[in-house]
Amino acid sequence: MDVSPVVEDGRFPAKAVPGQSVRVGATVFREGHDALGVTAVLFDPQGAEAERVPMRLVAPGTDRYEAWLTPGSEGAWTFAVEGWGDLFETWRHAAEIKVGADQDVELMMDEGIRLLEAAAAEEGREAAEAELFRGAARTLGTRELPAGHRLEAVLSPEVLAAVAEHPVRDLVTESRRYPLKVERTAAGRGSWYEFFPRSEGAVLDAETGTWTSGTFRTAAERLPAVADMGFDVVYLPPIHPIGRAHRKGPNNTLVAGAQDPGSPWAIGGPEGGHDAVHPDLGTFEDFDAFVARAQDLGLEVALDLALQASPDHPWVSEHPEWFTTRADGSIAYAENPPKKYQDIYPLNFDNDPEGLSLEVLRIVELWISHGVRIFRVDNPHTKPLWFWEWLIGAVEAKHPGIVFLAEAFTRPAMMQGLARVGFQQSYSYFTWRNTKQEIEEYFHEISRVTSAVYRPNFFVNTPDILTEYLQFGGPAAFKVRAALAATGSPLWGVYAGYELFEHVARPGAEEYIDNEKYQYRPRDFAGAEARGQSLAPYLRRLNEIRRRHASLGDLQNLTVQSTSDDALVAYSKTKTVRHGGSTVKDTVVVVVNVDPHAVREGTVWLDLESLDLDDADFNTDGSFWVDDLLTGDSWKWGTHNYVRLDPHHEPVHILHVRRNVK
């Protein structure tokens, strides 16, 4: 019963990426008192069994079992859960009790002999294992030996290991197979960096007050620094022509001057719409060169897919039915009261759903042909779910591996709905989760409740969002949010300027002053880093840690740990990685002082079971070593541990558990 991860009884597949460990759970029980075995089974896209893992009881009396399955490649995988009678464990339990009480001793021995001989004769049992069982049966039948000795010999480590590897099963009951969609790594893991190409290389003539826009060619000069910080994806806001009608000026003012470039999200002008490049940025050839340069540096380019139009977009005159006409005959512009976006017309899918859908598909395929394989979709929650299910399905069928990120800061049901119908990842509520209670509750939710399909991308800021925490928290706040994002989720992102601690908001708003959406913002990144006034080295280190530690590449393995202080947040991630015939365990424990203004100290209590420690990991005094990946310090830790974090020095511990110290 209650098999997980299952989405709407299998109507939609659960999601994973290659190498991700997926937590499988089920409630399994049987009548009577005989021993029960439970197994999780993974099947590859061809239907062949790929992995079989024993499931463990989560807590006595709950009948809830869990195990981890790890698909190795992309494709339509499936999994199932098997419940079965454990004949050997049932016999062993009874035999130990009865032999110890000198009851039915020889009867128990005879039943053990029958069990072992039947197991040895099972089809598919290896010859060495079969002989091991037959030898154990002979020992049970040697009545000259004391009964306790015979039983002890049968329960040898060799026999128990063989039974654990290939159990003696009866009455096997299998659930149906449930879908598990394994997408390419970029769908579920990655570090994103957002910048405006027009700002990179933009130049102001001080004498005339005239701006010269940056181009794809000048923006490409920023790419090595982005790659050097360890980011995987460079995300560009819309690069299309911008409308002149109702163009917004600096800080979203209603009147734009001749030099104001306008919001890139007000798409469309005489030069074209979504299928055109803003002439200030260059040509399609220049864009192709930008993409090629990014690829040379190991970066993917994500392009904004904003399904809306300026009043000057060709669609407005050619397809007025794709918009909403109001009672006075005007076309409705975008509103999010009290915000008004007179420079943007939302699309309406009700009047010509087929025509509009095919046009969007054409646009997406055009940019795919220019090397774009990731799309950040603006406001997808304002379009119908059926459309996204159709579009993502159509694109995937023809161009496997395309990734769609939902920029959907909206109600949970809609965010989950977008994930169900195909969006590989989504912006999240993380941006506004700042207190200890908020962070702990949200981390539990995204790792345990919604993780079957919903992959949160922890953006720390956006051009639209500058939280009060960053406005008033100082440099420590920027470190705290970056560390939480980089270690809390396999997906995280920053918007340019974060590394420069940009924190001044437009009065009365949660937005940046002199917002880059409406003006050029060239920045001296290199100079700031040379002066020691940049967070870039910290971001670089966080991305290095992510790459080196497999546990940080998964989401479902996050366990919130307990702390004594109301500003200390602690959590751990553990993952077992298989290399050939051997396994390596990676465990990271993160402790964060979320108070950017004051030193906090207290106790961190660790659930040692969640760390999956082996005997060889403990020192002789029962402690184990942890190494701080940010500072290089090392400590002996145990169940309860003292921490003191100074936000003016380092507000975060990222601790790696040292293995095999003996």
Q: What are phi and psi of 30, to 5 degrees?
A: -150, 170
Q: Could you confirm whether 407 is annotated as catalytic? A: yes
Q: Confirm whether residue 343 is marked as ligand binding.
A: yes
- 407, 565, 586, 650: which is the annotated catalytic residue? 407
Burial (Cβ within 10 Å: 0-12, 13-18, ≥19) of residue 471: middle
CA 224 to each of CA 231, 267, 293, 527, 641: distance values in angstroms, whole numbers, following the listed order: 10, 29, 9, 15, 41
Q: Confirm whether residue 517 is marked as ligand binding.
A: yes
Q: Confirm whether residue 379 is marked as ligand binding.
A: yes
Burial (Cβ within 10 Å: 0-12, 13-18, ≥19) of residue 411: exposed
Is there a contact between 439 and 484 (Cβ–Cβ < 8 Å)? yes
Please tell me the distance from the alpha carbon of residue 219 to that of residue 617, in angstroms, as a whole number. Answer: 48
Please tell me the distance from the alpha carbon of residue 239 to that of residue 215, in angstroms, as a whole number. Answer: 10
From the centroid of its chain, how far is CA 528? 31
Q: Could you confirm whether 378 is annotated as catalytic? A: yes
Which pair of tokens denotes residue 562? 């307990």
From the centroid of its chain, how far is CA 115? 47
Q: Confirm whether residue 308 is marked as ligand binding.
A: yes
Please tell me the distance from the alpha carbon of residue 134 to that of residue 41, in angstroms, as a whole number. Answer: 29
Is there a contact between 638 and 602 (Cβ–Cβ < 8 Å)? no
Which pair of tokens denotes residue 560? 């919130």
Q: Kind of pairing, strands 425-427 and 403-407?
A: parallel
First to last CA, the chain: 42
Please tell me the distance from the alpha carbon of residue 334 to that of residue 324, in angstroms, as a whole number. Answer: 10
- 378, 499, 516, 595: which is the annotated catalytic residue? 378
Which pair of tokens denotes residue 439? 């962070």
Is there a contact between 596 and 473 (Cβ–Cβ < 8 Å)? yes
Burial (Cβ within 10 Å: 0-12, 13-18, ≥19) of residue 282: buried
* Binding site, annotated residues: 248, 308, 343, 379, 517-518
Q: Report, as residue numbers or ranges, the catalytic residues.
A: 378, 407
* Binding site, annotated residues for alpha-maltose 1-phosphate: 248, 308, 343, 379, 517-518
